[in-house]
Amino acid sequence: MKIMMRLVMLCASCFPFVCHASGGVASGTVAHIFVTATFGDIIYVELSGAKTGNPACSTRSPWQFAIPRGSKAVNGLTPGDLVALVFEAQKKGNSITIGGSGVCDIDASEESISFVQD
């Protein structure tokens, strides 16, 4: 049993990219983007697909995720990188997947973004 647990821990540490987020996930085309300076310089995103795994704190509708407009990196990407990926997908009409962090630390009523994947 100890060997199995060590093997599981080793695999988990070697492949952190497999589990991007512990929060909500949505896939689809970019339905709406709302950029606001009024509520703390935040960018809100909604995808066409339904969001699953939404944390209890994330109650703002119709938005699914919040991206800060600043320089703090999220999983190695700056908010500018994340926004660029979202806008590029919207421009091309491509489907993307967005995952959340499981917490609402940018906006108390919207889940913070964790990753964008095409």
Residue-by-residue pLDDT tens, the chain, 118 positions: 334 333 333 333 333 333 444 899 999 999 999 988 777 789 999 999 999 999 999 998 899 999 988 767 777 888 889 999 999 999 999 999 999 999 999 899 999 999 999 8
Nearest of 75, 101, 103, 110 to residue 22 by alpha carbon: 101
Q: What is the pLDDT of residue 27?
A: 98
* Residue-level pLDDT at 66: 94
Please give the pLDDT value at position 19: 43
**How far is it, in rounded angstroms, from Cα 3 to Cα 37?**
53
Q: Give the model's pLDDT for residue 73.
A: 75
DSSP 50: P
5 is written with which tokens?
A: 């647990």
Residue 45's closest CA among 2, 1, 88? 88
Q: SS3 of 57, please?
A: coil
The answer to whether 101 and 112 are in contact (CB under 8 A) is yes
**What pLDDT is attached to residue 71?**
64
Domains located in the chain, CATH noted: 20-117 (2.40.50.50)
